[in-house]
């Protein structure tokens, strides 16, 4: 599953943030890249001077026709896709009680169903090659639920569970699957890619409401470096077998490992109750 000498990357959400920095790193290495955004003009600068090995495309992952056209354009130009990076997505914060139906469904359309649709379109290409790597951006919130981010966490948890099943299906075909789970990174995510429904219920003032405010307040001061994150992703997919999880940043690492330990301890503590739910063993008379 390691990369060929001149791999082809297909990266969504390249207008800003992780996607843009990763695209630059890939192209700086002399590799090939399909860089996409909602409006090819927003990524045109990335391909200037390297048009022979780069392609800028319009892609809204909610639009099946654009998905099909983008995958066709990529294979027409390069003949293959070695790494698919599902980076396009955004955040939505609200208390669970005050979440707005339209906002919740719109987030799932992009973060979940759009990612699913693009992956389905690329899988036949990788399956025919007998190789490839699929990199799904989830979040620390894909493994840990925080107050104020219940619906965002739900969208990322969905991708995590789906990625487990995907790997079980395509791993034997030579295709790797990695979920990238960043903590707070200095990408201006909170400023450009975060929607919020303000909480007006006093009971949530010290939990969800406080955290929602804190998310906005720290924007631009996070310790996570998106360029170093891109380097980590590149190093990960260059391995013979890419790991299923790539947690990025100290905050994320500490939060995820603590949550997994807490979860395992809770499950283990209830072992007798869990096993007691089976039919009792029958004893021959």
Contact 81, 10 (CB under 8 A): yes
**C-alpha angle 215-157-12 in degrees, rounded to nearest 5:** 75
Rg (C-alpha) for the chain, rounded Å, is: 21
Q: In Å, how far from its chain's centre is CA 14?
A: 13
What's 220's DSSP letter? T
Residue with tokens 């973060």: 111
Could you tell me the two tokens for 49?
A: 């001077």
Question: Is 90 known to be catalytic?
Answer: no
Q: Which of 216, 103, 221, 87 is nearest to 151 (CA)?
A: 103
What is the distance in angstroms between the CA of the first residue and the CA of the last residue of the chain?
A: 56
Q: Kindly name the residue from 92, 151, 152, 204 that is annotated as catalytic.
A: 152
Distance CA 247, CA 167 (A): 18
Could you tell me the two tokens for 71?
A: 């995958």
Distance CA 102, CA 94 (A): 13
With a CB cutoff of 8 Å and minimum separation 6, the contacts of 147 are: 95, 204, 207, 208, 211
> 3-class DSSP state for residue 144?
coil
3-state helix, strand, coil in the chain (%, to 5): 50, 15, 30
- By annotation, the residues acting in catalysis are 152
């Amino acid at each position: 599953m390691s990369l060929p000498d001149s791999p082809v990357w297909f990266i969504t959400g390249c207008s800003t943030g992780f996607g843009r920095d990763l695209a630059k790193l890939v192209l700086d290495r002399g590799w090939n890249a399909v860089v996409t955004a909602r409006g090819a003009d927003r990524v045109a600068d990335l391909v200037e001077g390297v048009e022979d090995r780069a392609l800028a495309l319009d892609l809204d992952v909610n639009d099946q026709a654009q998905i099909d056209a983008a995958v066709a354009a990529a294979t027409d130009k390069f003949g293959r896709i070695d790494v698919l990076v599902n980076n396009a997505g955004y955040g939505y914060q609200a208390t669970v009680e005050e979440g707005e139906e339209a906002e919740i469904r719109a987030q799932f359309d992009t973060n979940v169903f759009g990612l699913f649709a693009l992956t389905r379109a690329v899988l036949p290409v990788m399956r025919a090659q007998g190789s490839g790597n699929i990199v799904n951006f989830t979040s620390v919130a894909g493994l840990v639920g925080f107050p104020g981010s219940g619906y965002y966490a739900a969208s990322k948890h969905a991708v995590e569970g789906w990625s487990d099943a995907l790997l079980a299906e395509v791993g034997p075909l030579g295709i790797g699957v990695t979920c990238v789970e960043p903590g707070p990174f200095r990408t201006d995510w909170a400023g450009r890619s975060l929607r919020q429904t303000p909480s007006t219920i006093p009971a949530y003032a010290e939990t969800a409401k406080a955290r929602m405010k804190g998310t906005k307040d720290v924007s631009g001061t996070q310790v996570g470096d998106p360029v170093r994150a891109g380097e980590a992703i590149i190093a990960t997919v260059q391995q013979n077998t890419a790991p299923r999880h790539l947690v990025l940043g100290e905050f994320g690492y500490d939060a995820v490992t603590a949550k997994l330990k807490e979860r395992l301890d809770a499950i283990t503590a209830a072992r007798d109750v869990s096993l007691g739910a089976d039919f009792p063993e029958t004893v021959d008379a």
